Chain A
Amino acid sequence: MSNNIEEAKKIIEEVLSVYPEKTRKKREKHLNVFEEGKPDCGVKSNIKTVPGVMTIRGCAYAGSKGVVWGPIKDMIHISHGPVGCGQYSWAARRNYYIGTTGVDSFVTMQFTSDFQEKDIVFGGDKKLEKIIDEIEVLFPLNKGITIQSECPIGLIGDDIEAVSKKKSKEHNGKTIVPVRCEGFRGVSQSLGHHIANDTIRDWVFDKKTGKPIETTPYDVAIIGDYNIGGDAWSSRILLEEMGLRVVAQWSGDGSIEELINTPKVKLNVLHCYRSMNYISRHMEEKYGIPWVEYNFFGPSKIAESLRKIAAFFDDTIKENAEKVIAKYEALTKATIEKYKPRLADKTVMLFVGGLRPRHVIGAYEDLGMNVIGTGYEFGHNDDYQRTTHYVKDGTIIYDDVTGYEFEKFVEALKPDLVASGIKEKYVFQKMGYPFRQMHSWDYSGPYHGYDGFTIFARDMDMAINNPVWQMAKAPF
């Protein structure tokens, strides 16, 4: 093993040598090799990206509109500012939902204030007021509005909070949430998550009461599942099968009513820790609701998680958890029997966002695969600490990896699969590496839960054992 570590460190050294000295010094802190027994991965994180390096990161707006708020289906999310940000993120994340789009649901629409020069010069508050009025006329069934600030808003001194308050009053107390998620704030999507979480606290929890619901001792909320390709659904079904009542989904296929009612639950179950730990901690402090992190990728982690969640409840639930695990055993077994022989000992390099750089490792291991490199687009130190429970000695760790570094690491380690995002996909496929997008599930999914694991296994097999890779090199 230590040999491996030495070798990996040499690779890192080599890759770093391309940079000008100042950048080398900066990037050096983000790259390391995990050594068994260490409390973290030995990398710095959540730091400004070095300019000019082809980072994979996005911005705070992407974290708020794209991740946290965007999937809330019965509210209208205005991309406030010029047209671009909203256009590029329009329906791109596959947050599935059920509803009549344009009438009572709005997720796959692009509402924008389409700023023009005069809005920049004279300010956009008047226009925003008008937009809210127009929304109320044309989309009368919307249950609320959020204002997702793009870069210019914070720079031109607009007062979107004042507009929100004023318009809320005029429209019978309508929920209108100003979100200061301008893209220049923070260093990545991450601050956008935080800001969005805080606005739910301030503009929903503290201001709204929903239709009263009866509570039960088994009420939980799913926090941090964006229902990509239906992930939250294939998770919810398991929680329900073990006798829990899922009061809210945050935020995939979620509704404002569900947000409002969440402080009544007994337990928050948290999937994407990175993007929603803030609101979970808040509910713990303010309402005394405990929260527990879980992982629904792959049968080992699913079973572990079901038991962990059940431990918060009575024996009935604990027994039910065992029953659920037993119920899906045949499916799990058949899935592993089919795919493990085709995937065993294959190696994977990951680079993704919030929770996946660690959470999916178990699912790969269930299939006999090994993750030999991983890193976070916008992780913090607490993510890298949590990662130590997942990775093996000698795993190469790269924080906010640059396009250049990622290519060089892959060239050096030659994994059987690269799993990252759309910007990386075609680069590695050209190089002849099987690839899966791990943000959008490459338009597949769900990957969560037992139903999702079978799809996951099939997809990894389909990527790695695809006949196309045999043809990449011409025989002449």
Chain B
Amino acid sequence: MSQNPKHVLDHFNLFREPEYVEMFENKKKNFENPHPEDEVSRIIEWTKTEEYKELNFSRDSLTVNPAKACQPLGAVFLALGFENTLPFVHGSQGCVAYYRSHLSRHFKEPTSCVSSSMTEDAAVFGGLNNMIDGLANAYAMYKPKMIAVSTTCMAEVIGDDLNAFIKTSKEKGSVPEEYDVPFAHTPAFVGSHITGYDNALKGIMEHFWAKKERTENETINIVMGFDGYAVGNIRELKRVLKEMGIKAIILSDTSDVFDTPTDGTFRMYMGGTTLEEAREALNSKATLSFQEFNTPKSLEYAKTLGQKTMAFQYPIGVRATDRWLMALSELTGKEIPESIKLERGRLVDAVADSTSHIHGKKFALYGDPDQMLGLTEFLMELGAEPVHVLATNGGKDWEEKMNALFATSPFGTGCHAYPGRDLWHLRSLLFTEPVDFLIGNTYGKYLERDTGTPLLRIGFPIFDRHHHHRYPTVGYQGAMNVLVKILDKIFDEIDKNTNVPSKTDYSYDIIR
């Protein structure tokens, strides 16, 4: 017995005590009928081989450890960025419990969202009554200014018609006739969470913009897309816009709702794009997206109404930031102020100070398509080689863009994009063509454990490190944060590899 209240042993120490270790061994030996140890070792080694990689890459039906989520998650995230808006997901309730948990585990914040709780009878008769009651209840309890509806698989498979259902609900008095209930069908068997974000945004645009007169003004709409760093990034964006004196509407501003204070009050709603702004945004001269693959339909829609549109690919780094700043400047006629130029200079300065440590380092990275484009460009700016770049929710067009990007730099030579692949594919790659570092979300830690490739956590979700979502990744400031993250990891690894006394510690330098 080793437990002791004076020095409490947590799970990570408790179960290493001899009494537990012995218990585990006996359990395995006597009751689990385990595979022989040498057989297990043989298979472990086999999974590292070229042969295994080929088998692994030839599967076409099974997906193992994908790096993507489903549409409604993106729709819920998008909806939360509007003033006093309650996301309402029509379909079975289990999904909503999952979206809420998932977002809360990443942001360490509450995620408010309701479900129409459809069950077996709704599967047979359709979910109209669930919609009628659900809207009435949500409206009565939470007094939202807007309820944004999306769907789970269930509602999609049985073919519930949101437009008709919402109309009927209004006729039945669930919510007032004039009340804002934008909607989007978000079938989980098409695309991923970024598709859901796009569909939901388009739904809100259509709700506020369709059949309205458009009088163009000087405002710019900016869409950030699904982003685990929304809190930091949107605030950074707003700061830059202010410095430049640009009037902009951020379409879905999730920066406050996912960063509420602890002060004795729970704010179910906070900040967000106002409904007035959402309405007004029709008149803006342009809509800019920070994530092209995340917003195709929304941009297309804005374009058909006469707006200029433009898309970036999660711009991280020097040149990517240059491009959106210059685009903004050109669109608005506002100069990029000296202060921002200074920021740029400081970033380049930092890169110059540290680049020799990053130079030639090989990276594998995975995540959403635009984020991969952004990170890849930055890595190449730093002189690193983005050897394997994987997007489970990327397609052919993404692959082409990646290849074009690789071709712009000598550091892209021999680098590959992997659309539609998952983290089990990446595991093979990390064995057969190893790299120095891995960039990805929390699930990357399993790859780090299995392949020994040090993981740098950039992406979504990040469950096992705290608060990084508060720091931007875009803009010169964001690039600085990403640079420091990369450097810290590199230096930590060098130290870890040079700290054995009298063996390796001659290189355990105090100046680097």
- Seen from chain A, the residues whose Cβ lies within 8 Å of a Cβ on chain B are 18-20, 22-23, 48-62, 74, 81-85, 87-92, 96, 98, 100-104, 108-117, 119-120, 127, 130-131, 134-135, 137-138, 140-141, 150-152, 154-156, 183-187, 189, 210-211, 213, 229-230, 233-234, 236-237, 240, 246-249, 253, 255, 257-258, 261, 327-328, 331, 334-335, 338-339, 402-404, 407, 421-423, 425-432, 444-446, 450-451, 454-455, 457-458, 468, 472-474
Contact = CB atoms under 8 A, between A and B. Distances in A.
Given A87-B69, A103-B47, A338-B5, A82 B188 contact: yes
B95 to A, nearest CB: 7
Contacts of B35: 104, 141
Contacts of B27: 236, 246, 249, 253
A430 B93 contact: no
B164 interface: no
Nearest to A240: B23
B69 A138 contact: no
Contacts of B142: 54, 404
A265 to B, nearest CB: 11
A18 B91 CA distance: 24
B22 to A, nearest CB: 10
B376 interface: no
Interface stretch (B255-263, B352-360, B479-487): B255-263
B104 interface: yes
A58 B119 contact: no
A237 B19 CA distance: 8
B215 interface: no
A50 B111 CA distance: 19
A49 to B, nearest CB: 4
B39 interface: yes
Nearest to A137: B55
A339 B6 CA distance: 11
A237 to B, nearest CB: 6
A404 B155 CA distance: 25
B10 to A, nearest CB: 7
B97 interface: yes
B117 A48 contact: yes
Contacts of A236: 23, 27
A316 to B, nearest CB: 20
A20 B140 contact: yes
Given A62-B97, A82-B189, A102-B47, A255 B3 contact: no
Contact of A258 (B11, B32, B105, B157): B32
Nearest to B427: A102
5 contacts: A50-B133, A117-B190, A138-B55, A189-B94, A458-B8
A85 B95 contact: yes
Given A20-B140, A451-B9, A183 B32 contact: no
Given A48-B117, A84-B73, A423-B104, A74 B32 contact: yes
B33, B112, B114, B137 — most chain A CB neighbours (10 Å): B137
Given A54-B114, A151-B154, A233-B20, A120 B189 contact: yes
B19, B23, B33, B265 — most chain A CB neighbours (10 Å): B33
B425 to A, nearest CB: 11
Contacts of A152: 153-154, 157, 189
Contacts of A156: 157
Interface string B438-455: 000001001000100000
Nearest to A150: B153
Contacts of B73: 84, 88
A53 B137 contact: yes
Given A52-B136, A87-B70, A183 B154 contact: yes
A22 B424 CA distance: 50
A112 B23 CA distance: 33
B189 A109 contact: no
Contacts of B267: 430
Given A55-B93, A58-B97, A237-B23, A186 B123 contact: no
A52 B138 contact: yes
The 10 A-B residue pairs with the shortest CB-CB distance in the complex, in nearest-first order: A59-B94, A84-B70, A52-B134, A51-B134, A88-B98, A52-B137, A130-B61, A82-B188, A52-B138, A257-B33
Interface in B154-203: 154, 157-158, 187-190, 192
A56 B262 CA distance: 22
B469 to A, nearest CB: 14
A468 B264 CA distance: 12
Interface in B111-150: 111-120, 122-123, 130-131, 133-138, 140-142
B101 interface: yes
A446 B11 contact: yes
A81 B91 CA distance: 15
B266 interface: yes
B258 to A, nearest CB: 10
B66 interface: yes
Contacts of A210: 33
B263 to A, nearest CB: 6
B11, B14, B39, B130 — most chain A CB neighbours (10 Å): B11
Contacts of A249: 27
A257 B157 CA distance: 38
A472 B141 contact: no
B120 A184 contact: yes
Given A82-B70, A104-B40, 14 more contacts: A51-B115, A83-B192, A84-B98, A84-B153, A108-B446, A112-B66, A127-B61, A134-B61, A185-B119, A210-B33, A334-B5, A338-B5, A404-B142, A426-B104
